[in-house]
Amino acid sequence: MLYHLLYPLSADLSVLNVFRYITFRSIYALLTALVLSILFGPPMIRWLAKLKFGQYIQSDGPHHQAKAGTPTMGGLLIIISVVVSVLLWADLNNSYIWLTLLVLVGFGAVGFIDDLTKILHKRNKGLTSSQKFIGQILVASAAICLLIFEPAYSTKLYVPFFKSLTPDLHWFYLPFAVLVMVGSSNGVNLTDGLDGLAIGPSVAATGCFALFIYVVGNSTMAGYLNVAYVPGVGEVTVLCGALLGAGLGFLWFNAYPAQVFMGDVGSLSLGGTLGFISVLAKQELLLAIVGGVFVFETLSVILQVGYFKMSGGKRMFRMAPLHHHFELKGVPESKIIIRFWILSILMALMALSTLKLR
Ligand code: 57M
């Protein structure tokens, strides 16, 4: 809205010309979302606690009983801060912005229903995994169908490291992109089991994709770096900025020892949105590197379950996902978290280096 209100006045007041720049608006979107989440964090945490939206703790896992009753559904703070900041700073005529907001809110709605049913039914009984899965598929399919109809968007797949390997997936692109989004959403959800464990790597991944989105939306840079050029997608950098700010603001309260958990409303929407941003940036395969921590966590569950079945009851890890394994080995929670953050920063840097390795 600020963009629409102030930029037209730049003809009379040249200083307002800065509103034209994606970089300027992205930085202010970041700061706005950060300030909003830090300001509204404490009242929201008090409100969630008052409504008794506290976490039920399973008794079969590592010792998290001290965390019982910590308010959950803090992901609402992230979603609200991003939406407000994007409405203020982004060009609202840009359809990619609306599509990404649809994904953020749509995946958030699936998580919200899951969290709410868990809280209302007590004892952690939320949506069944297939109900959640159907919800995620519906939101992702709607977004990808709308995206494919954008004239500037192509269904080609850009393979990292190979600049001339760009097969066109045509209609197969729909299930592929849906899989990327749903997989990413569940990967972040599985990772969200220690204070700050999901939001730290999400912030690193968002920062990395903000740069990719900016490059992919700029014809000169995209041409120079040999990546796909998607006209108009650069505006989504503003949304990435807001997501970065809101993520850091949420981390303020979710840092160990956490005052609030994000809940499925946060983890499903963050993961789904990261998946969609990778689709917009035509870097779907690179998401496996950028979100490497989410991939390791998911792989640990697949390996654990597979090995358990094949070996007739033996376990590969003390408990999956991977963070539980380290907890049960006696590694302090804050050490696991910070080591996973270090890993996620390294993975994001590695992914950025592919811009030059092709
Ligand atoms: C949800 N939820 C956290 C919080 C957060 C297939 C199987 C691997 C599924 C997996 C599972 O259910 N994962 C998804 C994980 C929970 O956090 C809530 O959930 C939201 C995210 N969806 O925002 O609201 C607990 O995590 C802790 N937490 C923090 N700080 C945070 O900032 O400490 C969360 C956020 C919270 C809190 O204690 O209560 C969770 O872990 O439950 N299931 C599992 O992870 C289970 N693993 C398992 O059964 N492994 C088996 C097989 C199936 C692979 C095995 O290894 O043999 C374990 N989870 C728990 N206890 N809690 C089992 C034991």
Q: How far is the CA of 327 from the centre of ligand 1 (A)?
A: 12
Locus of tokens 């030059």: 356
Ligand 1 midpoint to CA 333 (Å): 14
Q: Residue 234 belongs to what H/E stretch?
A: none
> For residue 125, what pLDDT is reported?
78
Helix (H) or strand (E) holding 358: none
pLDDT of 124 reads: 64
Structure tokens at 356: 């030059």
Which residue owns the Cα nearest ligand 1 atom 19?
263
Could you tell me if residue 160 is inside a domain? yes
Nearest atom (ligand 1) to Cα of 325: 56
Distance 190 CA to ligand 1 centre (A): 7
Counting from 1 in the atom list of ligand 1, the atom nearest the Cα of 262 is 23
Query: Each residue of 23-40: b (16+ CB within 10 Å) or e?
Result: eebbbbbbebbbebbbeb
For residue 122, what pLDDT is reported? 64
Yes or no: say if 160 and 268 are a contact pair by the CB < 8 Å rule.
no
| Cβ contact 222:215 at 8 Å | yes
Give the residue numbers spanning the domain of 208.
94-238+251-353
Decide: 307 and 235 in contact? Cβ < 8 Å: no
Burial of 10 (0-12, 13-18, 19+ CB in 10 A): middle
Q: What's the burial of 357, exposed, middle or buried (CB within 10 Å: 0-12/13-18/19+)?
A: exposed
Is 2 within the bounds of a domain? no
Tens place of pLDDT per residue across the chain (358 aa): 888 888 888 888 888 889 899 999 999 999 999 999 999 999 999 999 988 777 777 777 777 788 888 999 999 999 999 999 999 999 999 999 999 999 999 999 999 999 999 888 766 678 899 999 999 999 999 999 999 999 889 999 999 888 888 999 999 999 999 999 999 999 999 999 999 999 999 999 999 999 999 999 999 999 999 999 999 999 999 999 999 999 999 999 999 999 999 999 999 999 999 999 999 999 999 999 999 999 999 999 999 999 999 999 999 999 999 999 999 999 999 999 999 999 999 999 999 999 888 7
**Would residue 38 count as lying in a domain?**
no
Condensed to tens digits (0 to 9), the pLDDT of residues 82-118 reads 999 999 999 999 999 999 999 999 999 999 999 999 8
Query: Could you tell which of 45, 64, 333 is best to mutate to test the pocket of ligand 1, judged by most ligand atoms within 8 Å of the CB?
Result: 64
Task: Report yes or no on 304 lying in a domain.
Answer: yes
The Cα 29–Cα 170 span in angstroms is 35
Residue 232: per-residue pLDDT: 96
Residue 149 domain-assigned?
Answer: yes
Write the single-letter amino acid at 132.
K
Q: How many alpha carbons fall within 13 Å on the CB side of residue 79? A: 28
pTM of the predicted structure, to 2 decimals: 0.96
Which of 189, 319, 329 has most ligand 1 atoms within 8 Å of CB, for mutation?
319
User: 188 C-alpha to center of ligand 1: Å?
Assistant: 11
User: How confident is the model over 234-271, as pLDDT tens digits?
Assistant: 999 999 999 999 999 999 999 999 999 999 999 999 99
**Residue 82 covered by a domain:** no
Site residues for ligand 1, CB cut-off 6 Å: 55, 57-58, 60-61, 64, 67, 72, 189-190, 192-195, 254, 258, 261-264, 267, 301, 304-305, 315, 319-321, 324
156 bridge partner residues: 168
* Size (the chain), residues: 358
- Count: domains in the chain: 1
Q: Which residues contact 102 (CB under 8 A, 6 or more apart)?
A: 139, 142, 143, 146
Instruction: Name the residue of 202, 316, 324, 333 whose CB sits within 8 Å of the most ligand 1 atoms, as the mutation to test its pocket.
Output: 324
* Cα-to-centroid distance, 193 and ligand 1 (Å): 5
Half-sphere exposure of 74 (CA within 13 A, CB side): 34
Residue that has been written with the tokens 């964090």 in this structure: 41
157 domain-assigned: yes
Question: Is residue 156 assigned to a domain?
Answer: yes
Q: What is the pLDDT of residue 169?
A: 95
CA dist 157 and 173 (Å) reads: 8
